[in-house]
Amino acid sequence: MQAGPVVSLVVPFYNEGAGVDAFFKTINATLTRVDTASFEIVCVDDGSKDDTLARLLSASQSDPRIKVLELSRNFGKEAALTAGLDAAMGDAVIPMDADLQDPPELIIQMIEKWRLGADVVLARRIDRHGDSMAKRGTANLFYKIHNRVSHVEIPANVGDFRLMNRASVDALKRLPERQRFMKGMFAWIGFRTEVVDYMRPARATGSSKFTGWRLWNFALEGFTSFSSAPLRIWTYIGSFSTLLTFIYLVFIVIRTLVYGVDVPGYASLLVSILFFGSLQLISVGILGEYIGRIYTESKQRPVYVVRQVYGDNREP
């Protein structure tokens, strides 16, 4: 058995059957180059419908470092990551994607920085040509708006791929929210952070699970989890339009007093009714977004449910 600290890799798998073997092959090639630490690989099967679980299990037969956590259904990447972080026992934990979009070689640099005293080491993508134009554009827009309205700054172009020491993982575990926007939660805990840069390659196999509508909801999750600006903005919009309405009211009253009753007024009436009606609908909708989240939080449901744990040979 190797001495030295243990590093846990936490890898969520959702319908990645085609990529499992390639993943372990690449990972192994990298891990054998590290002799300052030993590893455990926590694989979370997030309710895959293909042969991901079977392949994970057969990989774990021949490699005692692999531990497999099977969730009872698909809970989504954030929940799967949480499950993996909870199960990881290492002195440092590295969450990474199963599709090899997070280059394993970086693990070596991360561990180096960690041993030099960093609590958290972020992997920052300096090039995202593996992602589509639209995805890059909307991602940039998201970071820009989010960091303007929220107190917690999320570093741009940093995903979940990072190294966290034990203290920061424990801090993260103390965040009890059910709606888990991991990017924001990672940023919220703080700690002494260093960065390594890399080029983000395209997916090795399969296709991205995050497209269009799912990404939009993900972004909404980000705003509502870490900012109440969308709620507060209505106070200002409301005050401003009240002021305008008041000025208009004074104008109408005076005009009526001076020129007498003026029946035609259909257009201005309809416009103001429609305008304020839709303004109210938008603000009620935003209230709804937050109330919906309060509702889910108040149910206190667990973030994920484990069906079975395989290959955990630390416990007797």
Judged by CB under 5 A, the chain residues 178 through 237 that form the site for Mg ion are none
**Which region among 86-94, 202-210, 237-245, 297-305 touches ligand UDP (by CB under 6 A)?**
202-210
Residues in the interface with ligand UDP (CB under 6 A) total: 17
Contact between 45 and 56 under an 8 Å Cβ cutoff? The reply is yes
The smaller minimum CB distance to ligand UDP, of residues 9 and 37, is found at 9
Q: How far apart are CA 23 and CA 154, in angstroms?
A: 28
Q: Which of 82, 101, 168, 193 binds ligand UDP (CB under 6 A)?
A: 101
* Count of Cβ atoms closer than 10 Å to residue 137 Cβ: 11
Q: How far apart are CA 182 and CA 187, in angstroms?
A: 8
Q: How far apart are CA 146 and CA 133, in angstroms?
A: 20
* Nearest of 97, 209, 103 to residue 160 by alpha carbon: 97
The smaller minimum CB distance to ligand UDP, of residues 213 and 266, is found at 213
The smaller minimum CB distance to ligand UDP, of residues 23 and 39, is found at 23
- Pattern 82-101, Mg ion, x by CB under 5 A: ---------------x-x-x
Whole-number minimum distance, CB 158 to ligand UDP, in Å?
12
205: contact with ligand UDP by CB under 6 A = no
Half-sphere exposure of 19 (CA within 13 A, CB side): 20
Q: Which of 16, 119, 194, 221 binds ligand UDP (CB under 6 A)?
A: 16
Which residues contact residue 73 at a Cβ distance below 8 angstroms, ignoring those fewer than 6 apart?
47, 305
Q: How far apart are CA 148 and CA 71, in angstroms?
A: 36
Q: Which of 12, 17, 95, 311 binds ligand UDP (CB under 6 A)?
A: 12
Which residues contact residue 295 at a Cβ distance below 8 angstroms, ignoring those fewer than 6 apart?
none
- Site of interaction with ligand UDP (CB under 6 A): 12-14, 16, 46, 74, 76-77, 80, 97-99, 101, 203, 208-210
